[in-house]
Amino acid sequence: MKQQVPCGVFDWFFNPPGTLLRVFVNHSEKELCLLLSELPSQSENIAFFQTLIHQNPLYVFYRYRLLPKAGFEYVSPSVTAVVGYTPEEHYRNPELGLQIVHPEDRHILEDLIQEGKNLGKPIVLRWQHKTGKTIWTEQLNIPVYDAKGNLTAIEGIARDITAHKRNEEELTQKSRELEWLLKSMINAFVIHEPIFNQEGRLVDFRILYVNDAYEKMLGLKLENIQGKTARELWPGMEEEWFRRHEKAVLTGIPQSFELYHSPTGKYYRCHIYRPWDTPERYCAVFDDITERKLAEQREAYLKRMLLAIRNVNQLITQEEDSHQLIEKACCRLVETTSMYSVWIVLLGEEREIVDFAFCNTQENLDNLQKTTLEKRLSLCIDSILAQETLLVINPCPQGIKTLLLKDEENHSIIAGKISFKERIYGILLATIPASYAGDAELLDLLQELVNDLGFALHKIENHKALQEVQKRYQLLADNMPGIVYLCLNDEAWTMIYLNDYIEKVTGYSKEELLSGRITYAELCHPEDLELLRKIINNALKEKRPFHAIYRLRNREGKYRFVEEFGTGIWEKGELLYLEGFIQDITERKINEEKIHYLSSHDPLTGLYNRIFLKEEIERLEREQVLP
């Protein structure tokens, strides 16, 4: 039956007080018990322990006498395996015990022998092996006193802890490397302790450790937050954070995600993992991705804005009614979610409101609200129209702000003048996220939008004017013995209106010229084209009618002489169209050439007549040229 060694048994081996084994049992009882199988009978104790100590390879047992003469009384044979010196060498040299101690540690042993420091306490000393290598040892030294209380000897046990020290140093080095790694990380690193409720759900987490990047990223020092919980630091933190942490902690499956953190107003990319087998602690590594997320959101918003502008541009090519245009444009801009609300106002010549359209993401305005908004806006019209570019209305009149923004405090109102050239057609009011109110690229897109609306309204206005002109001249033009036209003053003289007489003169139908399959400029004789343009442009500069005679090609490729009388159609100082009358004078030109020929030639002989000879003599005399 196994028994534990009783204290005081070593008294049989060493004369009183014999405390070495007692201390040894207290210090490393388990190790000693492993060395004993059956405690021998008391008569055999002395021999047993002598054998045990003498043959123990793990520990060096020794007794060093101080009085009357210093020297080793006993050193166990295991000392040779530890330091290379035999027990006999220790017996012959009383100073060897001090000499094998590393020079930097000798003062510890000297203090122990001379002053009794650290007696009865474990100490660590470096020994120098006979070969010169350094050995780390742990020692326990017990004082032995005589009957008078004098310190007469020191009994001790020493063991080689070099491997332990090496492992300890490696662990220390690894710990330093890990600490350096964590400190040098550009990612924030934190160790959490999860907090669960009675149902086993994670409801909070405590901060145990954070690295330098964490402190820099969140502006919080470890000493100020260590031991605090997330809910203490950030009340109102989104519950989704706790759910993501819970999944990683309970399942042990790492979780990676991107999430907004409202208390700090930032976006983070997080990786939650549990490197330990138990859910008592877990780690989180995260980055501040706010800049990237905001850039992505801005890019997405600009794409929606581009889609809105494209939709409005489609309307421009389709709509011919100004009210339908602005009403549908408001809806298209809001449908893309690029704008919270949009209001387009059309103005008359006196800058009075003549029409408007409104749309927002929630509800339309009733008549009373529309009237209120109209009155409020009338106070801002002059300041908006005075701006050449878009204007952020700040501060915004309370009435407009209430009706357009409702509870959307994070939005701003952008106002822009809708115009084309010098003509002002109206105003656009739009609400956009306040964070984009100063974005130059977005403002350029909005400026492009109001410019497109201005062009569209200009086109609708011109179309209406054209319809009036067409109605006015339709009956007259159909009965005229010549070509009646209405065209643009461009390079091709693009036809807006033609009567049927064009086909009689050129052989081309009016549909061919109105559709652009062939242009009027292409029919003009190349030698006459430059002069014709000069005549027209000079007349337009002086705002007077023009007159020109030139040649026009028909479908057969032959040229006919035509005479044109035309003028410009102006509105508010802007040239809109050219209108005029063109008649075929080919027969007249032929007759004029015949008359001119007969006036200078004899009709029978074909020779020059007396009239021609007389005119030539007078010409020569004027120029004083002798025959």
- In three-state secondary structure terms, 185 is coil
Are 75 and 60 a contacting pair, CB within 8 Å? yes
169 part of a folded domain = no
Which pLDDT value is given to residue 39? 42
What pLDDT does 377 receive? Answer: 64
Tokens standing for residue 6: 């009783």
Q: Same structural domain for residues 157 and 245?
A: no
Same domain, 436 and 452: yes
Q: What is the pLDDT of residue 320?
A: 85
Residues with Cβ within 8 Å of residue 78, at least 6 apart in sequence = 56, 57, 58, 59, 60, 61
Range with lowest mean pLDDT among 128-132, 405-409, 499-503: 405-409
Determine the pLDDT at residue 568. 94
What's the token pair of residue 493? Answer: 């003289």
Q: Within this chain, do residues 332 and 445 fall inside the same structural domain, yes or no?
A: yes
Residue where one domain finishes, among candidates 460, 490, 520: 460
Residue 301 resides in a domain: no
* C-alpha span between 505 and 553 (Å, rounded): 9
Q: From residue 467, give the alpha-carbon distance in Å to each of 304, 474, 491.
A: 37, 10, 23
Across 327-335, average pLDDT: 86
> Which range is least confidently modeled, 209-213, 272-276, 374-378?
374-378
**What sign for the dihedral angle of Cα 405, 407, 409, 410?**
negative
Which residue from 500, 495, 485 is spatially nearest to 515, judged by alpha carbons? 495
Domain annotation covers residue 178: no
Q: Are 483 and 498 in contact (CB under 8 A)?
A: yes
Domain membership flag for residue 172: no
Confirm whether 626 is domain-assigned.
no
pLDDT digits (tens, 9 = 90+) for 11-47: 333 333 333 444 344 444 444 443 333 444 444 555 5
Closest listed residue to residue 497, CA positions, set 418, 582, 619: 582
Which of 460, 493, 520 is the last residue before a domain boundary? 460
How crowded is residue 200: how many other Cβ atoms within 10 Å of its Cβ? 8
Tokens of 496: 């807006």
> Dmax over Cα atoms in the chain, in whole Å?
181
CA gap 417, 99 in Å, rounded = 99
User: Both tokens of residue 423?
Assistant: 């003509």
> 20: closest CA among 11, 29, 28?
11
Is there a single domain that holds both residue 603 and residue 533?
A: no
Q: What is the pTM of this model?
A: 0.51
Average of per-residue pLDDT across 535-539? 95
- pLDDT recorded at residue 34: 37
CA distance 468 to 472: 6
**Residue 556 has which token pair?**
């057969």
Q: How confident is the model at residue 379 (pLDDT cuts 50, 70, 90)?
A: low
Answer yes or no: is 376 within a domain.
yes
Average pLDDT, rounded, for the chain:
81
Do 337 and 450 fall into the same domain? yes
Q: Are residues 122 and 23 in the same domain?
A: yes
β 341-347/282-288 pair status: unpaired
Distance CA 60, CA 138 (A): 10
Write the CATH number for 390.
3.30.450.40
> Which has more confidence, 450 or 620?
450
- pLDDT score of 534: 95
Q: Is residue 48 part of a domain?
A: yes
- Highest mean pLDDT out of 4-18, 37-51, 558-572: 558-572
Local confidence band at 470 (pLDDT 50, 70, 90 cut-offs): low
Burial 55-78 (b: 16+ CB within 10 A, else e): ebeebbbbbbbbeeeeebebbbeb
Question: What is the count of structural domains for the chain?
Answer: 5
Task: Report CA torsion sign: 498, 503, 509, 512.
Answer: negative
Q: What is the pLDDT of residue 623?
A: 65
Note whether 14 and 158 are same-domain residues.
yes
Are 76 and 87 in contact by the 8 Å Cβ rule? The answer is yes
Q: Are residues 93 and 191 in the same domain?
A: no
Say whether both 269 and 392 belong to one domain: no
Residue 239 has pLDDT above 90, yes or no: yes
pLDDT (tens digit per residue) in 67-122: 888 899 889 899 999 999 999 999 999 999 889 999 999 999 888 888 878 888 88
pLDDT band at 5; cut points 50, 70, 90: very low
| Distance, CA of 50 to chain centre | 79
Question: 579 and 595: one domain?
Answer: no
Name which of 2, 63, 81 is nearest 35 in CA terms. Answer: 2
Write the CATH number for 193.
3.30.450.20
Q: What confidence score (pLDDT) does residue 417 get? A: 87
pLDDT in tens, 270-306: 999 999 888 899 999 999 999 999 999 889 988 888 8
**Would residue 369 count as lying in a domain?**
yes
Residues 14 and 155 in one domain: yes
Q: Which domain holds residue 403?
A: 320-460
Question: What does the CA dihedral 318, 322, 327, 329 come to, rounded to 10 degrees?
Answer: 50
Q: Does residue 337 carry a pLDDT above 90?
A: no
Regarding whether 114 and 52 lie in a shared domain, the answer is: yes
Tell me, what's the pLDDT at 399?
A: 47
